Amino acid sequence: MTASALYDIPLTLIDGTKTTVGAFEGKAILVVNVASKCGFTPQYAGLEALYQRYADKGLVVLGLPSNQFMGQEPGTEDDIAAFCGMTYGVTFPMTAKVDVRGKHQHPLYAELTKFKQGLFPGLIKWNFEKFLVTPAGVIVDRFSSSVEPESQEIVDAIEKVLADEAA
């Protein structure tokens, strides 16, 4: 898929605003499928810390809530936004709930899961899987749920993408 086609993918933000991935064109995007009642939910804190650390350098963290794994995101969009804001101080953009796999898979995840890397190609296996997209719209990295947002692996990947863009 071309970057321009990636940017054409529609998104509905958590507040109901209609947009596209193109709203983030020119920024690196860390795309994460999130859930409020998962063992990995505390990663919201690390995701927000990454966003605060790198937003001025061109990074957007984009959270896409999904209820597809053991019903760990049962609330409404209002419930999710309130929980994330009050519990973790989340300020990064989030979308309305989406399916990340299956018959009603969101088009963004249809594209992201085409990216093959290491042991985690194909289907989303659990909440808090992460994809890194360059400011040019190229998917370059995928990280499993167990990789903490502020891990050296993710920080190095983000810094490389941002440095490559600045060069």
Question: Which domains are present in the chain?
Answer: 3-14+36-166 (3.40.30.10)
Which pTM was predicted?
0.94
Condensed to tens digits (0 to 9), the pLDDT of residues 82-92 reads 999 999 999 99
Interatomic CA distance for residues 106 and 9, integer angstroms: 9
Label residues 72-88 b or e (16+ Cβ within 10 Å = b).
Answer: bbebebeebbebbeeeb
What per-residue confidence (pLDDT) applies to 123?
86
Q: Are 106 and 99 in contact (CB under 8 A)?
A: yes
Interatomic CA distance for residues 95 and 152, integer angstroms: 27
Among the options 6, 11, 38, 64, which is catalytic?
A: 38
Interatomic CA distance for residues 102 and 45, integer angstroms: 29
The closest of 101, 34, 88 to 62, measured between CA atoms, is 34
Could you confirm whether 38 is annotated as catalytic? yes
Interatomic CA distance for residues 103 and 114, integer angstroms: 16
* Secondary structure letter of residue 27 according to DSSP: S
What per-residue confidence (pLDDT) applies to 117?
66
Q: What phi and psi, each to the nearest 5 degrees, are found at residue 60? A: -120, 130
* pLDDT classification of 165: cutoffs 50, 70, 90: confident
Condensed to tens digits (0 to 9), the pLDDT of residues 38-84 reads 999 999 999 999 999 999 999 999 999 999 999 999 999 999 999 99
What per-residue confidence (pLDDT) applies to 166?
74
